[in-house]
Each structure stands twice: as C-alpha cells, then as structure tokens.
Chain A
C-alpha cells in the first residue's frame, strides 16, 4: 500500500498536467471554430447565390414545377442536398400578394396613379377590417409616395410633409423596394399593419397579377379583393377542381373550375409565378443561418434583393 503511494502521486500529477493541456487546447479549438463558422456561413451563402441562376432557369424551363411550387420545393430540396447537405430551402410565390407598386402606372416617362388598382386596394383594406376612415388617406398617401409628380392628392402628402418630420424617411419618387416602406407613411397603426402585412408586397413592376395555381386559403383574401364578384364558394371550386399539374390557360381554368368568366378579369390571371421568394436555412456546426432572396423568373437580371431578414 505504501509502495503504491509513489505510483498514485505520479499518476495524479500526470492527470493534472494532461487536464491543463486539454483545457488549453479546447479553448484554442473553440476560439478558432467561432471565427471560422461565421466566415463559413458567408462563403456558403455566396456559393448558394451562384447556384440561384440554375434554380431560376429550372423554374422557367420546367412547366410542371412552375405550376406547382410545392412539388418544385420538394424536387429542388432533393437535388440540392447532394451539393449542400446542410441546406433546406422553401419557396414562396410572390405573385399571390397585392403589389403596392401597382397603385401607379407608367404614363409617358413617369408613373401616375392607377385608380383602377386603387379601388382594388380599397377592397383589400375592407376585407382586412382596416378602419374605413383612413382608407382614402392611406391610398392618397401611397399615390403620392409612388408617383413622380409633386402635387399632393386630396388626402395625400408630398415630400415637405416627410421632410418636416425628422423620424420619417420619404420615398424618392420611385417604386417601393420593400413593403415595410408603407410604415414611412405614418398612417397605419400596429394592428392595422399586421392585418395586411402578409397580403401586400413590393415587387419591381407596376402590374397586379395573381397566380391562380398558388391560390390557397392564405391568399384567398387578396384573390377576392382583385375579383370582388367571386364568393368563397367560387374559391372552393377553384381549389377542388385544380388539376394535379395546375391550370394551364384561361380557357382551361374556366372550363375545369366552372367559374363564370365574367367575374374574372383575364388580364390579372397568370398560371406560373413572375416572382418568387426563396428562404434558405443553412445548418452549420449546430447553428442555423437564414437568408432570403426575392427573384424574378426571367433569365439574366433576376435578382430583386437578398436579405438576411424576411
């Protein structure tokens, strides 16, 4: 037992020293990991960005996928796993929201208010239970923010109003880049905004079109505001009769769904998205990195914006 003392004390000393070395090495490793993981996430994002033109081409060329975004999402996730095993993406159709920029239309070289679409926007406000007393003011403020003239609408406000308020950021006579710019008008309160936040969007176009193949209960409100003569029963018929590969033409849509074509403005219906949002989730070393791309489905020049936030 006494002889064992030398052995035990020696072993104890070795254990203590090894523990010290281990702690130091562990600190070095975790410090290095922390700095590289952030750099890796950015490099991965750049790799993914370079892959986006392929995704856009795929959605333009494949008529089955562009008419069924759920299927497209599954297919792309399946194929992308080989190249980016840590990546999951989801697709959102940006042709099922109310484009705020459609409240103006091009006239000669400038944008002027589009009253026809303004009426449809009022429909959306009514369906969203927004206080009726602010409908006209909100619409006029939006016209003034988006149009190119400096003449305020009856209930609107031009640059001077915003310049005089230090906390506001006026719109520089151009289309909205992001729907959050509606907050700069300082008219909608938090509750009102939350009621229409998911229904509106800002895309770089003055057109207002709806992809009927992405119609669902979440987007039905926007659809009803565009086609106010339709009822919930009509929506149900469109959803129930939709072919697996989606509606292909206006005639096909009317024939299969059985909807009265007089209730629908043909020019506002499309059958594949013009704009999509891709939400990427990247899992690196147990941490999740998120980023979003809003893309136009046209070759070349397809990037609208990219952001780390939705």
Chain B
C-alpha cells in the first residue's frame, strides 16, 4: 500500500520547528519595524528642518544686489531687510528660469514668522501685489531669532543696522535659532558674496 500525505508526527514536528523559528525571529523583526518607525519619524522631522534651512541657504546663495522699492513704490535703497518681527527677511533672488514668463527671472523672497509658523513667499521683484508662490516651511516652532552681521562676535537684531553702508548689500552672516519640541536648532548661514 502506497502511503500518501504525512504522518501526524511529521506535521507536529514541522509546526514545532516553524513555531520555534517564528518566536526567535519575532523579537528581531519587531525591533526592525520599531527601528524603521523611529527612523521614519526622525527623517521626516529632520528633513523638514533641513529642507527649510536649505531653502533659505539656496535663496541667500542666489540673492542679488537689487535695491528694492516699498509697496508705495518709493526707493528703499537696500537689498536686504532683516528683523525679528513678523517679516523676518526680504530680499531679491535670481531663482527662476521659466522662459514662458512675461516678467524677469528675479523674485522678491519674503520669509515670514507668524503664529509659530515659518513660511516663504515669492513675488515679482518690485511688486509684492503679484504673489508667485507661498509655502509653509516649518510649523510649531518657537522663539525664532535672527541676527545679522559681518563678525560672528558682533551681530545685530536687524539689518540694515547703524553700521550699514550702501555699497555693502548683504551681511556676511545670518544666525538663526529656534526651538522645536524643546529642542534648540541653530545655524549660521552665509551669503558668500
């Protein structure tokens, strides 16, 4: 007589071995999943902060010495306005290459800190009425502080400051700091001019 299938003993042994391996690997697998979740959260948080700072860094790298006008079209004779009030940074940057545009490639870049949110707005270089883009960069950040200057040991809370000269368009450094979930983030950024 030809036997088909498995004996009960064989099935039980197979189940036992499978169960032993599953128990042993469960710990390893659950650790990996836990690690992935932690890495994902950390990446998402860090990449948000890193993206925000890199966006600012790239805008500063592309800043041009364009003397702006105010909303009433009066000459301001400055290329950068920096402060710690709502509108923290305003300057013009050469950061678009859309050949279909009817206007120039220059954009006024405005960084705004309001209600614990940091956002970035771009408009035409000398006409803030025409908004090109608006993005939220960071949310739930506190105590954002900017400082400006040519020496890291001598930074001012606003730009242009008393030492401002019309021939110098940008400070060498901008120091930025803020808090997020009780963790302090700080960066020194340069215009590289």
Contact = CB atoms under 8 A, between A and B. Distances in A.
A180 B94 CA distance: 10
Given A6-B17, A24-B32, 6 more contacts: A17-B25, A20-B29, A180-B103, A183-B104, A306-B62, A309-B96
Given A25-B32, A177-B106, A32 B22 contact: no
Contact of A307 (B46, B73, B95): B95
Q: Bin chain A's interface residue count.
A: 35 or more
Contacts of A171: 126
A51 B64 CA distance: 20
A159 B65 contact: no
20 contacts: A2-B10, A13-B18, A17-B25, A24-B32, A31-B39, A35-B50, A39-B54, A42-B57, A49-B61, A159-B73, A168-B127, A169-B104, A170-B73, A174-B66, A180-B105, A305-B94, A309-B94, A309-B96, A309-B105, A310-B97
A42 B66 CA distance: 24
Nearest to B92: A177
B73 A163 contact: yes
A35 B95 CA distance: 22
Interface of B: 6, 10, 13-14, 17-18, 21-22, 25, 28-29, 32-33, 35-36, 39-40, 43, 46-47, 50-51, 54, 57-58, 61-62, 64-69, 73, 75, 92, 94-97, 101-106, 124-127, 129-130, 192-193
A21 B31 CA distance: 10
Nearest to A291: B61
Given A14-B21, A177-B94, A178-B94, A186 B102 contact: yes
A262 interface: no
Contacts of B96: 309
A288 B193 CA distance: 25
Contacts of A170: 69, 73, 126-127
Given A169-B125, A177-B106, A305-B62, A46 B192 contact: yes
